[in-house]
Copies of this chain bind each other. A is one copy, B any other.
């Protein structure tokens, strides 16, 4: 009698790889999961660095949520808040280098999202 959970060498490696991936994806989702964080980073990478600009660009986000997401992103080392005490005082948010480590992921998600929308449309 054989089952899918035979303890072969191959199966062990497979199982370990799976566990590693699951832990990694879980970690990633913890840091950048949710509805807004990636979108805010994308908008910032494209020149939207002020509060109101971001709010307009990331459509649907409220001031309250944007404010709290920015705080979390700052806390986790993705962005900095820069206050230039000139005249007038302007507040700008800037991406830190760590944000750029997300480029591959953002690219992959963008490409997938585009093809997914095409697929959904063609199905209707």
Contacts and interface: CB of A to CB of B under 8 A. Distances in A.
22 contacts: A4-B47, A17-B46, A18-B42, A18-B46, A18-B48, A19-B57, A20-B110, A20-B114, A21-B110, A22-B39, A22-B43, A22-B58, A23-B113, A23-B117, A24-B114, A27-B120, A28-B110, A28-B112, A29-B109, A104-B108, A104-B111, A104-B112
Interface of A: 4-5, 11, 14-15, 17-29, 31, 33, 35, 38-39, 42-43, 46-50, 53, 57-59, 98, 101-102, 104-117, 119-120
Nearest to A50: B4
B117 A14 contact: no
